[in-house]
Chain A
């Protein structure tokens, strides 16, 4: 998985558009009742690039209603919108941070020469274009990704869903759980299958904030784990009324006491294990799209409960301790896992553990275990 450079420059992943006299054929605030139309040529460019998995964003000196209007007349899902009277370089920096992109993956299109000059000076890595240039970019190599996956094509739509979800959350008064219920959150935890291997590998490479292991797992390694009787690999899928995010997370759980105790209805009760059975989780990971949506809490609660159900006395999650995956450590702490203070090993990992007695983290009622 590389962000490879195409001939002629880095691949552009997001185009940031000005509105007035760029995407629109006039000025939004100066048009009275008759609002300007979308520029027909740039409309074609918007659609063509979106089909290639390139995101679109808006940066405009206008009220937010202008963005709504542009969204309507262009039929485009904008991944990020910055409307206001601040500087364009600041707006572009916020868009880059919000989408997790570096400036060299951005292009900026504006009809105003001064705005273009300001962005070019403040952000020299951003590709700065006139609307006339922008009309031709579908032919440029930086705008022609070699492979376009189905997920890439849906990317703009998913960011737009996220934007609508965030706006709804900001307007919602209750707790996070009330909000998750209100928007019809559905989380499903299910055994992984061969068809999931590619996505699981991809997640292991791409996730950082919510990743305990901090190193990628290959498809071959994952396939081996699926075959192993002591090992369970589960996937987490997530959707709500705003959209379907698909497979967003996974965990690997390994019991150290051999196969879990099997209870035969007629036979004698199984002997208690000689040593306390421990279930170890070498990897728990979740896409940052799922942050704040209860998916990692659900996965950790399920890990505790399923380990307890096999008769294990303790759940252990070895976790890399870095400043990048603090969100993972927050979730571990919330699920009641603790590490021995000062126990961070030379490889940067500490073992976070919890006993599986007493009250275990609850599975919310929007979680289904398949």
Chain B
């Protein structure tokens, strides 16, 4: 895995997040933005849609590999998690 790969994944994840939440401003979030709580405010519905897209695009089943879903801490942690598996 390279840093460049994770950066590319992060860009694609921004687009997915903007799509599943309907919020275009998420296209510009920094990689250290938290996905839960005050950051993106990911809830069950948006989170499920995000994980479904991740599985479809990268073949990575985050929920099966990460019991606590800690990979969803920030945009960057999720991008790293995926980049390490593709």
State the A residues within 8 Å of B (CB): 169-170, 172-177, 209-210, 291-292, 294, 296-297, 321, 323, 326-331, 333-334, 338-339, 341-344, 350, 352
A291 contacts B37, C-beta separation under 8 Å: no
Judge if B1 is at the interface, Cβ distance under 8 Å: no
Kindly list chain A residues whose C-beta atoms are within 8 Å of the C-beta of B64: 323
Task: Give bound CA distance, A343 to B63, whole Å.
Answer: 15
A334 contacts B42, C-beta separation under 8 Å: yes
Kindly list chain B residues whose C-beta atoms are within 8 Å of the C-beta of A330: 42-44, 47-48, 51, 69, 72
Q: A326-B48, A326-B51, A326-B63 are in contact. Are A339 and B68 (CB under 8 A)?
A: yes
Beyond the given A291-B45, A294-B43, A326-B47, please list 8 additional residue pairs across the A-B interface where CB-CB is below 8 A: A175-B23, A292-B43, A296-B44, A330-B69, A330-B72, A334-B36, A341-B68, A343-B67
Kindly list chain A residues whose C-beta atoms are within 8 Å of the C-beta of B8: none
B63 contacts A329, C-beta separation under 8 Å: yes
Judge if B22 is at the interface, Cβ distance under 8 Å: yes
Judge if B21 is at the interface, Cβ distance under 8 Å: yes
Task: Give bound CA distance, A338 to B72, whole Å.
Answer: 13
Task: List 30 contacting pairs A-B, 8 Å CB cutoff, sorted by A.
Answer: A173-B22, A175-B21, A176-B21, A176-B43, A177-B41, A209-B48, A210-B44, A292-B43, A292-B46, A294-B43, A321-B67, A323-B61, A323-B63, A323-B64, A326-B51, A327-B44, A327-B47, A329-B67, A330-B48, A330-B51, A333-B70, A334-B36, A334-B37, A334-B43, A334-B47, A338-B70, A339-B67, A341-B67, A343-B67, A352-B68
B72 contacts A333, C-beta separation under 8 Å: yes
A333 contacts B48, C-beta separation under 8 Å: no
Q: Which of B37, B48, B68, B72 has the most CB of A within 10 A?
A: B68
Task: Give bound CA distance, A193 to B44, whole Å.
Answer: 28
Indicate with 1 or 0, residue by residue over B33-72, a CB within 8 angstroms of chain A CB atoms.
0001100011111111001000000000101100111101
The A-B contact count (CB < 8 A) is 76
Kindly list chain A residues whose C-beta atoms are within 8 Å of the C-beta of B68: 333, 338-339, 341, 352
Q: How far is the CB of B46 from chain A (nearest CB, A)?
A: 7
Task: Give bound CA distance, A339 to B36, whole Å.
Answer: 17
Across the two chains, which residue of chain A brings its CB closest to B48? A327
Task: Give bound CA distance, A127 to B70, whole Å.
Answer: 46
Task: Give bound CA distance, A258 to B6, whole Å.
Answer: 50
Task: Give bound CA distance, A331 to B51, whole Å.
Answer: 14
Kindly list chain B residues whose C-beta atoms are within 8 Å of the C-beta of A333: 36, 68-70, 72
Kindly list chain B residues whose C-beta atoms are within 8 Å of the C-beta of A342: 67
Q: How far is the CB of B68 from chain A (nearest CB, A)?
A: 5
- Interface size class of chain B, counting residues whose CB lies under 8 Å from the partner chain: 20 to 34
Kindly list chain B residues whose C-beta atoms are within 8 Å of the C-beta of A339: 67-68
A176 contacts B46, C-beta separation under 8 Å: yes
Across the two chains, which residue of chain A brings its CB closest to B21? A176
Kindly list chain B residues whose C-beta atoms are within 8 Å of the C-beta of A209: 44, 48
Q: Which of A209, A329, A333, A342 has the most CB of B within 10 A?
A: A333
Q: How far is the CB of B74 from chain A (nearest CB, A)?
A: 13
Task: Give bound CA distance, A301 to B23, whole Å.
Answer: 25
Kindly list chain A residues whose C-beta atoms are within 8 Å of the C-beta of B36: 333-334
Task: Give bound CA distance, A15 to B38, whole Å.
Answer: 43
B45 contacts A292, C-beta separation under 8 Å: yes
Task: Give bound CA distance, A338 to B67, whole Å.
Answer: 9
Q: A291-B44, A296-B44 are in contact. Are A329 and B22 (CB under 8 A)?
A: no
Across the two chains, which residue of chain A brings its CB closest to B63? A326
Across the two chains, which residue of chain B brings its CB closest to A335? B36
Task: Give bound CA distance, A176 to B37, whole Å.
Answer: 11
Kindly list chain B residues whose C-beta atoms are within 8 Å of the C-beta of A172: 22
Kindly list chain A residues whose C-beta atoms are within 8 Å of the C-beta of B70: 333, 338
A329 contacts B69, C-beta separation under 8 Å: yes
B67 contacts A175, C-beta separation under 8 Å: no
Kindly list chain A residues whose C-beta atoms are within 8 Å of the C-beta of B67: 321, 329, 339, 341-344, 350
B41 contacts A175, C-beta separation under 8 Å: yes
A297 contacts B63, C-beta separation under 8 Å: no
Indicate with 1 or 0, residue by residue over B6-45, a CB within 8 angstroms of chain A CB atoms.
0000000000000001111000000000001100011111
Q: How far is the CB of B51 from chain A (nearest CB, A)?
A: 6
Kindly list chain A residues whose C-beta atoms are within 8 Å of the C-beta of B37: 334
Kindly list chain B residues whose C-beta atoms are within 8 Å of the C-beta of A323: 61, 63-64
